[in-house]
A = this chain, B = another copy of it.
Amino acid sequence: MSILLHDLAAANPDLRFSPYCWRTKLALKHKGLDYETVPHRFTDRAAIAKSGQSKVPVMVDDGHMVHDSWAIALYLDETYPDRPLLMPDAAARVQARFINSWCDWSVIPNTRQLAVPNVFKLIAEEDKAYFRASREKALGPLEQVGSDRAAAMKTFVQSLKPAEVTLADQAFLHGVKPGYGDFAFFGTLLWPYMVCVEDPIDRESAVGHWFERMMALHGGWVAKAPTARSP
């Protein structure tokens, strides 16, 4: 039985934009595990209620339900140790853990002005009331979020600086080969990449060059996913 992944989707069920779900899909690809995704809407709580919480990714593997992208990564290495490891040793794990936390607590907050208003435009009608209420609690009126696009871009680009400096020296955040920290960061950037009307990734930057290397993994599968800019 193949793995099932509840994967956040826009009104267009093929448009997938959750940075956390992307981390899990990148992890599954790295491990070479087959999986199917179920397009998930913010308000589809019943579908994942058994996980005991309301957020995706939620993965179902042979009857086990696992949630939270970091917990899923640990689960995959533990359950499938003979497949390529996401964190082959303690050093890779601490590096991945730090980068994962940096993405969650520094990059994502600094990407909200850019991504959130675009997410709102793309999601299904039934999700809009929930999304507005939850995001406005943190960010104020949605119509004002990201209204100064230049400022939003500046904040976003500035938050990438630790990776920009690191990737000027080395091919991947983990060194010569991508590790789970690269998947966490790439998944994070796929959020604004998928939803923005203009591609927000500067391809002339070190992060941009790395982004292209990440895009090219596994036969360029991510590039085949539809974005807000797809015809």
Interface check A102, CB cutoff 8 A: yes
Q: How many copies does the complex hold?
A: 2
Alpha-carbon separation in the docked complex, A164 to B163 (Å)? 19
A178 CB → nearest B CB, Å: 12
Alpha-carbon separation in the docked complex, A89 to B89 (Å)? 13
Q: Is the CB of B175 within 8 A of A101?
A: no
Within 8 A of B (CB), among A82-137: 89-95, 97-99, 101-102, 104-106, 109
A197 CB → nearest B CB, Å: 27
Within 8 A of B (CB), among A51-104: 89-95, 97-99, 101-102, 104
Chain A interface category by residue count: 20 to 34
The stretch that binds B, out of A145-153, A166-174, A222-230, is A166-174
Pairs A–B under 8 Å by Cβ, sample size 19: A90-B175, A91-B91, A91-B95, A94-B170, A94-B173, A94-B174, A95-B98, A98-B98, A98-B166, A98-B181, A101-B162, A101-B165, A101-B166, A102-B106, A104-B165, A105-B161, A105-B162, A106-B159, A106-B161
